[in-house]
Amino acid sequence: MSLPALIAIVLGLSLTVYAIFAGADFGAGILDLSARESPEQRIALAHTIGPLWEANHVWLIFSITITFSAFPTAFAALGVVMLAPLTLAVMAIVVRGVAFGLRAEPGGQARSQTLLSAAFGGASVVAPLLFGASAGALAQVSSSRRVSATPLSVPWTGLFASLVGLLAVALCAQLAASFMTWRLSRTGQSESAERFRRRGLQTGTVVLALGLLALLAGAWKAPALWHRLSTAALPLLVIWLLAMLASLYAFARRRYLLARASTMLVAGAIVWGWLIAQAPHLVGTRLTIHAAAATHAALTAFAIAGGVVLLAVLPAFYLLYVLFGRPTPEIAQ
C-alpha cells in the first residue's frame, strides 16, 4: 500500500472515532435539549460527558492536522469551497463547548443556567447538521469517475446534503442514548435508563428512516454517488442496515451492551460508506489522495510522528475511559 493511502486510512479512522465519540457528546447536547423538564436526566448527561468531551473533541483537531500536513492542496480546496458551512460549524462547536464548560449546575433552574443549556443544546444540533450536510455534499461532488472541468461548487444546502445532515443529528442522539442506557443500567439506575432507552428507540427509527430517504435522494439527485454506493460501498451499506436493525432490536429487548456496540457500528458504517464512495478523491474529482499528497519525505515524517502520537495517546485514552467509565460516587448514591 502506498504511503498516501495509508495516511488516508488513518485520517478515516480518526474521523470515525470523532464521529462516534464526539458524536455521542453532540448527542448528549441534543438529548439535553429534550430533557428540559427533567433535571436529573440533564445531570446524568453532564456527568457522563463532563470528563470526556474535551479529549473526544481533539480527534477533530487531529483530523484537520492530518489533512493539512499530508494533503495540503486538498485542505486548501476544502477551505475555499466550504467557507460558509465550516465557519458556521466551528461557531456552533465553540458555542456548545463554552456553554457546557460554563454551565455549573446542569439541572439548575436559574436564568443563566437555562440560557446556557439552550445554547449548549441548540449548538449541539447545528454542528452535526452542518458537518453531515458538508460530508454529504462533498461525497456528491467527489464520487464521479470523470474529471469535471467546471469549477467546484459544493451543494451543501441541496436535498441529499440536507438529509445527510439530519441523519447525522439523529445518529448523534442515538449514540448518546446508547451510551447512557448502558452506563445507567450498570449503575442500577434502571428508571433513568428506561427514559434513554425510549430515546434510543425513537432516534434509531429516525436514523433508519432518514438513511433510507437519503439513499433514495442520492439515487435521484446524485447518480454518480448512487453508483458508487451500490457497487464499491455496497458491503458497508449492508453492514449499516444490519447494525441498524440490531440496534433497534437491542433497545427493544434492553440488551444495552449490544445496543451500544451496534449503534457504534452504524456510525462507523456510515463514515466508511461515505469515504469509500468517494475514494480515491478527497475534494472534487481532481484532487485524489495521490494528487493532493505532500512530498514523500514529509509524508514519511508524518507517518512516524502519527505512530508515536497514537502510542502515547491511546493508553492515556484507555486510562480516562476506565477511570470515568466506572459508576461515579455521586450518581451511585
Partner 1 sequence: MISALGSLPFGATSHLTAGRAQMGTSLSFHLFFAVLGVGLPPMMLAAEGMHLRTGDPVWRALARRWSKVFAILFAVGAASGTIISFELGLLWPRFMAFAGGIIGLPFSLEGAAFFIEAIFVGIYLYGWDRLSPRTHWLSGIPIAIASAASAFFIVTANAWMNVPRGFKIVHGHVTHVNVLAAMFNPAWATETAHMVLGAYLATTFGVAAVYAVGMLRGRRDSYHRKAITVALAAAAILAPMQLAVGDLLGRTVAQHQPATLAAIEGVTHTESGAGLNLGGIELPGHATTFLNIKIPNLLSVLAYDKPNAPVRGLDTFPKADRTPLAWATRLAFIGMVGIGTGLIALGLWYWLRRRRNGPGPEDRFTLLALAGAGPAAFLANELGWLVTEFGRQPWVVYGVFRTSSAITTAPGLSATFTGFTLLYIVLSALTVWAVRRVSTGTPQLLATPTLRVA
Q: Any contact of residue 109 with partner 1 (CB under 8 A)?
A: no
List b or e across 54-87, with b for residues whose CB sees 16 or more CB atoms inside 10 angstroms. Answer: eebbebbebbebbbebbbebbbebbeebbeebbe
Stretch that binds partner 1, among 73-81, 167-175, 184-192, 220-228 (CB under 8 A): 73-81
Which is closer to partner 1, CB of 238 or CB of 298? 298
Q: Any contact of residue 34 with partner 1 (CB under 8 A)?
A: no
Q: Any contact of residue 70 with partner 1 (CB under 8 A)?
A: yes
The set of cell numbers assigned to 239 is: 453492514
Q: Any contact of residue 122 with partner 1 (CB under 8 A)?
A: no
Q: Any contact of residue 322 with partner 1 (CB under 8 A)?
A: no
State which of residues 317, 325, 327, 331 lies at the interface with partner 1 (CB under 8 A).
317
Which is closer to partner 1, CB of 68 or CB of 249? 68
Cβ of residue 177: shortest distance to partner 1, in angstroms?
22
Q: Any contact of residue 97 with partner 1 (CB under 8 A)?
A: yes
Q: Any contact of residue 223 with partner 1 (CB under 8 A)?
A: no
The footprint of partner 1 on residues 277-296 (CB under 8 A) is: 294-295
Which is closer to partner 1, CB of 145 or CB of 151? 151
State which of residues 55, 216, 219, 239 lies at the interface with partner 1 (CB under 8 A).
55
State which of residues 3, 68, 227, 331 lies at the interface with partner 1 (CB under 8 A).
68
Which is closer to partner 1, CB of 60 or CB of 175? 60
Site of interaction with partner 1 (CB under 8 A): 50-52, 54-55, 57-58, 60-62, 64-66, 68-73, 75-84, 86-87, 90-91, 93-95, 97-98, 100-104, 112, 294-295, 297-298, 301-302, 305-306, 308-309, 312-313, 316-317, 319-320, 323-324, 328-330
